[in-house]
A and B are shown apart, each in its own frame.
Chain A
Amino acid sequence: MAHVQVNQLFKKYGELQVVHGVDFEIGDGEFTVLVGPSGCGKSTILRMIAGLESVTSGDIVINERVVNDIPPRDRDIAMVFQDYALYPHMSVRQNLGFGLKMRNASKVEIDEAVRRTADTLQIGALLHRKPGQLSGGQRQRVAIGRAIAREPQLFLFDEPLSNLDAKLRVEMRTQIKRLHMSFQVTSIYVTHDQTEAMTLADRIVVLRDGRIEQVGTPDDLYSRPANRFVAGFIGSPTMNFIDARLVAEGDTLWVEPTGGPRLSVPAERVGRYRPHAGRQITLGMRPEDFTNTWTDESRAASSAVPLDVTVDIAEPLGSDTLIFGRIGEAEIVCRVTAVAAPPRGAVMRLNAHMNHMHLFESDSGVAL
């Protein structure tokens, strides 16, 4: 198992700089997800860790050894590619055993590893087939099998599920999680899908334009986003951002959405936000922080305040209903317990859970 450090990593393609000084560290057995929008440099970073791409400057350290100039084959890693990259001219059995064969394992060892891997992934019946004769999901399993058969110190995944249909993707996601729980091998997983990131990761590195926006556990990113970008990236539907003003009146602090009703800031946050009183800020509220079911006690306990929302559209999802509506000038989405769809223009009284509120500086987007 491996401990990985990435120090001040830079990457340039010619004149184009795509990674701008990235630092993070991955503990033994940890599952880390690199997430960010398309083109932010996730794959590039992963490929530098794999040794497939040269490092412009900075260090990649695996188990206290700087590996910058060490070829991929000597890094003791395995990688699952987005297009699976199964060797088309070899059978599934040969694909699974290839890494061990290249490392001069004995025939007995290889057979044993192939059998074990095939059992784990339930692909025993496919061993004699060529990759061309497999379905997408089966290829995916074989690709993962090829990585685990060799028992490397470090797994790298580059969007391994993006070519699967929605249902299979969820299945394989669980499968990967299960594999990680049983083998506990250090893993780095690249995706642009925040759900995959949230469900799989011990730790998430959020990237944008080749820079780290935030590193943290899924809960850190969800509950305490460092800035508006992370807040908007994590969670679905995305967080509501509402232009507002922070108003102080004696000991109480209010958030006043432009053209909307004022909302009181819970007592435990007042100290933190007080210095910003009088400023124009952005209020962040997640769709699930508006509810339509409450009792007076629960409302008091969660510092929830009643809020009237003018409904535009309601989208029933079965268990929940998404309400697209307005407060003041701002458009918001609320995820409430299933209700009969209210007509357009109706006013719904919802509960805004202000203890989950986020405030961001209007221009920089930094969390206050």
Chain B
Amino acid sequence: MTTLGRTRLADVGTYVAFGVICLFFAGPLLWLVSLSIRTSAEIYVSSINLWPNNPTLENYVAALNNPLFPTYLWNGLKLAVGGAFGAIFFAAPAAYALSRFRFRNKQLAMIGLLAVQMISPLVIMVPLYRYMDRIGLTDSHVGAMMLYIAIAAPLFTWMLKGFLDGIPRSLEEAAMIDGCTRFGAFMRVVLPLSLPGLTSAFVLNAILGWSQFIIPFILISKPNLLPIAVGIFNFQGTYSQTSTQTLAAASVISIVPAVVVFLVLQRFIIGALMSGAVKG
């Protein structure tokens, strides 16, 4: 076999593998879209057909006509954006300190941060609820946001530290000799240079917040406070007849913003994920 033929074969293999993996992950999503354009009669019938016999957009209309739907969207946005801002607000100074200052037990602090990251909220669900309830932060966006921040901050501290490590220290030193205070050097040199990193961390954080389910599910019960991820879950219960198709439509609508943001800003996001790996 020629080298060319062998390369081709390898290429084909790669594409086949790619296709299989793609199908595996995209399958459920396609199924969701398929469900969302069915009539209620067709939900259980032609379950093997991906494309229904009588496709309809009725379900989308129904979902959007739900009086609480815009509230869910708005709540989701509020929590995602607020959580992202908060996480950056707390992670950025920590990342700066970890990147720039020498202090005792720094390594330990960094590992400690990661260790906290490993605890799933699921594990501490009950004590977490009791705790938040005790201090009166259930059924409150502030309370939920605080947890979003607590969950995201460690990871983003690491991420931003990686980004800041890539900005040479000598730039700040030059600025300080040129007449800046340390804070001035941070504002005029470090901040502008870390803006891409901050932006991507923010976007990534907001997307994660948007799809956050467990925290609001545990903490929030008032329907008008629910974010979209939990709100659509409640569609299940509010309809008497089968509501799978409406639920599916609502789900599709809820993913759209995250997908759009991701596609538009993917360069940034990949930058953020890679920043620790490749030093610039």
Contact = CB atoms under 8 A, between A and B. Distances in A.
B53 interface: no
B174 A85 contact: yes
A150 B180 CA distance: 14
Given A87-B189, A89-B192, A72 B176 contact: yes
Interface in A76-90: 77-79, 81-83, 85, 87-89
Contact of A102 (B170, B179, B192, B193): B179
B55 interface: no
B177 interface: yes
Interface string B38-71: 0000000000000000000000000000000000
Contacts of A103: 179
Contact of B175 (A51, A75, A77, A87): A87
A102 B173 contact: no
A78 B177 contact: yes
Give the interface size bracket for A toward B.
20 to 34
B168 interface: yes
Given A73-B176, A73-B178, A99-B179, A85 B192 contact: no
A110 interface: no
Interface residues of B, number: 16
A77 B177 contact: yes
B178 A83 contact: no
A83 B179 contact: no
B123 to A, nearest CB: 39
B173 A85 contact: yes
A50 interface: yes
A99 B188 CA distance: 12
B181 to A, nearest CB: 7
Interface in B145-198: 168, 170-171, 173-181, 184, 189, 192-193
A89 B178 contact: no
Q: Is the interface of A mostly helix, strand, loop or mixed?
A: loop
Contacts of A75: 177
A78 B173 CA distance: 11
A154 B69 CA distance: 67
B171 A102 contact: no
Nearest to B195: A89
A71 interface: yes
6 A-B pairs with least C-beta separation: A102-B179, A85-B170, A99-B178, A85-B174, A73-B179, A72-B177
29 contacts: A50-B177, A51-B176, A51-B177, A52-B173, A52-B176, A52-B177, A71-B176, A71-B181, A72-B173, A72-B177, A73-B181, A77-B177, A79-B174, A81-B170, A85-B168, A85-B171, A85-B174, A87-B175, A87-B189, A88-B171, A88-B193, A89-B189, A98-B175, A99-B179, A102-B179, A102-B180, A103-B179, A146-B174, A150-B178
